[in-house]
Chain A
Amino acid sequence: MNKPLEIEVTYTANIARVKLRGRLDTPGVDRVEAKLNSAVVPEGRNTVVDLSEVSFIASMGLRMFIGLAKALKRNNAKMVLFAPQSQVNEVFNTVVLREIVPIVVDEAEAVRFAAT
């Protein structure tokens, strides 16, 4: 059936770049959430998340991102999401996520936003 959600984290200077591939549904979040948090929260790294290969998101995915953004904020760091695809963007619009978390078009803009 669907491939399990994959996560890849790379670091450049003070930015953590997170690449997700797959579906951010409950099984997907269960698979990656602990790894994602432990990769970026303890050191309070500014984090940009590439959603260009995420085909689907449900509320558990929203919960993961909002929880991560709160944890980073407590450590004086930011999370920026970029390149959401159609279903993901539609869900973000429905819950007005942009009022809580920055969402931009591409990685360059995300990095600029995270660094400001």
Chain B
Amino acid sequence: MSKIEEVKAKVEAGKSKLVPGLVQEALDEGSAPGEILQAMVDSMGVVGDKFSSGEIFVPEMLIAAKAMSKGVEVLKPLMAGDGSASLGTCVIGTVAGDLHDIGKNLVSMMIESAGFDMVDLGVDVPADTFVSAVKDNDNVKIVACSGLLTTTMPALKEAVATVKAACPDVKVIVGGAPVTPEYAAEVGADGYAPDAGSAAVKAKELATA
């Protein structure tokens, strides 16, 4: 197995203590940083698919993401200023009136693993704050809004409308337990994802369209 293949396998298995060393070995063998990063992104794509299909669960996804982030730490100094490695910036938050953060955090982690720079606004985020974050950060391609409560569905709708009105070029994706594809379409979102793995796929699809 080549070193890059080993990196892929160990990221998928969540071996965060082994990945940094393997990444370094892959570099020493002459692999390009971008190539290694892409291998890890691909691994996380597999992890996301397995999560979406119910083959793995939250802990497996968390340790895989941690393993990837440890590998990225090794690559970062070598890739500084290499904008081509990023798919753009994604602003994420749970909408106003809603304090649930676990699902949002998982989505953030998976979108980051797909190759985005993340700006996490946390929970209970007013619609205007999403807009400010788009304006205050470079190259924002995606805004991801999460809502878990039926009672905060109106806030989700307001967040989408406010971002779309102020930043028409930015794509907005929504998700959360009560959100359906129909609801996402009704409120004018560009995309919907039922889980963290699918959210990363959808974000990538919208950012590269």
Say if A and B assemble together.
no
- Which residues of A approach B to under 8 Å, CB–CB? none
Chain B residues packing against A (C-beta within 8 Å): none
